[in-house]
Structure formats: C-alpha cells, structure tokens
Structure 1
Amino acid sequence: MHITRHLADLPADARGGAVAIGNFDGVHRGHAKIAERLVARAREIEGPAVVFTFDPHPVRVLRPHEYPPPLTWTERKAELLTKLGVDHVVAYPTDEALLRLTTREFFDLVLRESMAAKALVEGPNFFFGHNREGDVALLGKFAAEAGMSLDVVEPNSEGGELVSSSRIRRLIGETGDVGRALTMLTAPYRIRGIVTHGAGRGAKIGFPTANLEGIDTILPAEGVYAGVGRLVGRDGPMGVWPAAINIGPNPTFGEVHAKVEAHLIGCDETVYGRPVEVDFLDRLRDIRTFASADELVEQVKKDVAATQTIVTKNY
C-alpha cells in the first residue's frame, strides 16, 4: 500500500500512468468499476494505476457544518483500493489553495505536470476546479488537447438505485442495515477505536466487552450487530475474533448514554488502551430493556450464537 500526501513527494513510478480522481469514500462497487477500468488502462499504457483522493473531503473545508462522517479513513481507503489493483494512492491534503484552483490550473498543475498522466478514468458525475466548475466534458476537452485519453465509467445500480457513498451512509447510519450496505461495498463496513474502561457489567455477567472511543467514521444506528473484531498492532492485525456488537445505551441498567461495546468471542487478551477494528456483517436486533439481568444474559447468549453462525457463513 503506497500513499503519497504531497505531489512534490510523488515517486517516479507513480507518474506517467492512468489516474482517477475522486473521494472514493467507502470504496463501494461503483468505485470498484472505476478501479477495474483504471487498472486495465494502466496496463495498456504500461504505467501505474493511480487514485488521487482528498484528505479531508472538500466539503469539510468548504462547509464544515454540512460535512457527513466518512465511511472510511485514509489508510483503510488505500488498503481497499490496493486490493482492487491500484498501484498508488495520493491522499492530497485539502486546503483553500487547492480549492481555489481553476479548472485549467488543476488540470495543468496536478494531472499534466505533477502526475504526467497519460490516461484518465472518471465517473459521469465528476466535477473539478473552483466551485466544481469543470465536468467530464471539459475534462475530456483538456485531455484531448494534452494527448491524454479519458474513459467515462457508468455508475453501478442496485435495487433500481445508484450505488453511492451517500446511499450507503444512510443505510448504515439511519437504519443500521449493514447487511444491505455490504451488498454495495467491496468489503464489510469497518470502524476503529481505542478500548477504554467501561462499567464492567459485561464481565460480571460473563460477556466482557471492549468499549470503543475515538471512532472517526459514521456509526451504525443503535442496535445489536454481528461482526468481527480485531486487535491492531503496528504491522497489522494481532488477533481476529467473532464479535457481538452493541451500539447504544444499556437501558436494562438505567443507562441513557450511547456507547459502542464489542464482545470479542473467545478473546482472553487484555485489550484496554489498544486499538480495535470492527467489521459489521449483519444487524441482529433493536436495543431493548430486559426485565432482569438473567433475561439479558439469555438474550446475549442468543446474540453470541447468532454471531458465530453469521461469521462462519460469511467471513
């Protein structure tokens, strides 16, 4: 996985290839279609397949009050793109100077001079330059003048609707339908956080949980989910377990504050203070109040059994 933050640091083997520009948030199946064409064009011209993306999303700089939580952090995005065959990811630090560039300035400075692109691949709804004044028609005009090719890839549809990051964000954040979202993503939806000390009630009833804080992507809607949790070290995963995940309060014990708790099934390691990533496979049920701790325990046993079945089947 190769990530470049500044064009001045772009290595020689990331220049002279095929380039796709976009946010690629979530790296869904529509993005995969673009990546497939990008890689094919790169191989045809015997150059690298490069994705130019933005960190953060331009909306966060222009209209921070409208900025939605992302689906992926930069390293995760690059990891997913690499699995699709992309050779290099440029995660450009979005600032006002970049956003002030005219369409011609952006094309000349970024694509022609810095990246020495020979081929471009975009979706039909691509816009670039100050105030998003440039579209694929203008990009095609600039590309033809510079001797570059431009492939425009039609978007994917699912259930009669276009596959998009905003649609997936609604499914996850508003309804918690991570299973439906998974049909549109190229990998299960993942969050990351640091394990902190909680009330310790899970351990007392036989189901210790990792309480996650510092999550920087969108949270699924309140509910109980089946997924996979992994401890993460400097060099990658240090352990992977099925996980029953609770998002929301624990009303049985009078809690009103929402939190994220993952019971890592079979994990006996100390996880406090350590980073954990959680993949979501399916939604099991709503949050509800139980008449007693014993009734809660019986339900958690069912959640754990359902999680193990789902993970075995799908992961």
Structure 2
Amino acid sequence: MAIGNFDGVHLGHRRIAERLLERAREVGGPAIVFTFDPHPVRLLRPSESPPPLTWTERKAQLLKEIGVDWVVAYPTDQRLLQLTAQQFFDQIVVDAVGARAMVEGPNFYFGHNREGTIERLGQMTDQAGMTLDIVRPVELDGQLVSSSLIRRLIGAGEVAAAATMLTEPYRIRGMVTHGAGRGSHIGFPTANLEAIDTLLPAVGVYAGRVPLGGKLVGAAINIGPNPTFGEQAHKVEVHLIDREESLYGEPLEVEFLSKLRDVRAFGSKEELIAQLREDVSRAREIAG
C-alpha cells in the first residue's frame, strides 16, 4: 500500500509505484494506491488550495498504466481529517486495507495536523509486522521532481519542460460549448472549452493532441483573449488538425506538448490567418 495525493502522477510517483509493485509481488497481494478526493488542503485551507494537476479518473488511469492494481480514492471528509496518526494507521491501513507492506516517499505525513511523520510510520509498521520502504525522490537536471514544481512550470506555459517530469504529457478536460464562431468563418474552426477543473497553462498558443475515437489527434490550442477582434475574455479554443468533428455539449480532454508563441494582436484578418496557418503547420509537426 502507498498513500498520497499523487497529483499529476510524475516520475517520483512512478518510482514509488514501481517499488510498490515489487513489494506486492513479494507478499503475493495486489498493489494498492490510497489517495484522496479532494486534496485535504481543499477542506483544511481552501484559500491555499492550488488547482489540481489531475482529476481522479485520470490519476487512476495513469497509475494503472504503471501497473498498480487498485486505486482507492477516499472521499475526504472531516471525520477522516480528525483521525490521529495512530487511528488512521489502525482503521485505514490495518483494518480496512489489511496492508502487509507499505511504500512511501520521505516527506510523507498523515493524521490530524500532520502529526504522523515517516519515522512514526516506521514504528507503527514495525509493531504491526509490516515492511516499510522509503523511496528517494527523483532528481532531473538538478531539481527534485514535485507536483509544486510541475505546477509552476505549467503556470508559466513551460508545458514541454513539465512533460519531462510527468509520466504522460499534461492534460486538461472541459465541456465543449458554443463560441463566437469566428474560427469557422476564417477556416480554423475551434472547440471552446469551459468548466475546466485542473490547472490551466499560461496564456499562449500551444501544440497538443486530443484523444478521439481511440486515437490522439493533433491540435492547435489558444489560451487567452482574442485581441485582434477586441475580445479580452480568456478562452480555451482547440482546433483539431485535419479533422472536423461536432463536439458541442461533450467532454473533451486536451494534451499539451509545446508552447508555440504568445498571444498578440494582428493588424488585419489576413495577418491572423497567415499566422494561424503557421501555428497549425508547426503543431501538426510536433503532434506527429
């Protein structure tokens, strides 16, 4: 059993999951990740709660791709948050899950007021006759891979750098709604995305992909205002490359591969069209 938020499912999480699989094989049981929905900070300190990097189903999908057998997404509530470290260990780890081995990172805390340290967990697992593995963090280019670092990169538009630290390129999801329809009139129809529940990359134009019909379809994505037409509202507009799909009212996932450029105003509609052709050409090449 491994407990944690696993937000984003990055390379450090993969290292934990891989050790978890080794231990599960040794004890002859399933590899279980126990996570929380929502993140406890959302209830404890809402004003300090950062937007998540993954929604629960995506998190489970990414962990299953690594090989994890079960992902338990516990519905976080006040009862859970009031459990002492010992109560959490006894009620969740021992009684509910029946864990025989635990795997955690070095900065793991649990129980009310984060009173349960990794040292305390070691004492509890020893007393319960379990093994405890502490997995060292992953370092990339001199930086420790973490959800907070990845969040900063994505917030700055550095989605390609973030992708090197994630097990899969960064994705958002939302519902497709009707927009102004300008894209269709100039030959670049877009799906307008709303109700996005994860962190949005910085304002800019991106190359990406969209999962459709079991395939990943290349896309050019615009995040931000449309200054050429005097629109200041921030939008998320997704142009599917070489595809025309009616997606209104449907959920859509969008994967970000690379930032192409900043958003800027153009002197004419013709200048904008020329730039969009270049954007789509580059996005097509990056998306493969």
Instruction: Supply the AA of the counterpart residue of 2:233.
Output: H
The question of 1:226 aligning with 2:207 is answered: yes
Q: 1:276 aligns to what?
A: 252
2: distance between equivalents of 1:293 and 1:238?
35
Q: 2:232 aligns to what?
A: 256
Q: 1:183 aligns to what?
A: 164
Following superposition, the deviation at residue 239 of structure 1 comes to: 5.5
Following superposition, the deviation at residue 159 of structure 1 comes to: 1.9
2: distance between equivalents of 1:221 and 1:121?
35
Q: 1:172 aligns to what?
A: 154
Aligned-partner SS, 1:70: coil
2:118 to 126, 136, 142: 136
2: distance between equivalents of 1:116 and 1:250?
55
TM-score (norm: length of structure 2): 0.99
Aligned-partner SS, 1:261: strand
Following superposition, the deviation at residue 230 of structure 1 comes to: 2.8
* Structure 1 residues 239 and 156, CA gap change in structure 2 (3 angstroms): closer
Following superposition, the deviation at residue 238 of structure 1 comes to: 5.5
Aligned-partner SS, 1:228: strand
Q: 1:161 aligns to what?
A: 143
Aligned-partner SS, 1:185: coil
Q: 2:221 aligns to what?
A: 245
2:177 to 178, 196, 206: 196
2: distance between equivalents of 1:83 and 1:239?
17
Q: 1:10 aligns to what?
A: none
Aligned-partner SS, 1:249: strand
The question of 1:79 aligning with 2:61 is answered: yes
2: distance between equivalents of 1:269 and 1:61?
39
1: distance between equivalents of 2:110 and 2:245?
48
2: distance between equivalents of 1:152 and 1:68?
26
Alignment of 1:1-315 (within 5 A): 19-173=1-155, 175-231=156-212, 237=213, 240-312=216-288
Q: Percent identity?
A: 64
1: distance between equivalents of 2:167 and 2:230?
39
Unaligned 5+ segments in structure 2 are: none
Aligned-partner SS, 1:220: coil
Instruction: Supply the AA of the counterpart residue of 2:220.
Output: A
Instruction: Supply the AA of the counterpart residue of 1:202.
Output: G
2: distance between equivalents of 1:269 and 1:225?
20
Instruction: Supply the AA of the counterpart residue of 2:33.
Output: V
Which of 222-231 and 25-34 deviates more? Answer: 222-231
Unaligned 5+ segments in structure 1 are: 1-18, 232-236
Following superposition, the deviation at residue 56 of structure 1 comes to: 0.1
Q: 1:234 aligns to what?
A: none
2: distance between equivalents of 1:55 and 1:92?
6
CA RMSD of aligned residues (A): 0.8
1: distance between equivalents of 2:231 and 2:103?
50
1: distance between equivalents of 2:214 and 2:223?
24
2: distance between equivalents of 1:239 and 1:172?
24
Instruction: Supply the AA of the counterpart residue of 2:125.
Output: A
Aligned-partner SS, 1:257: strand
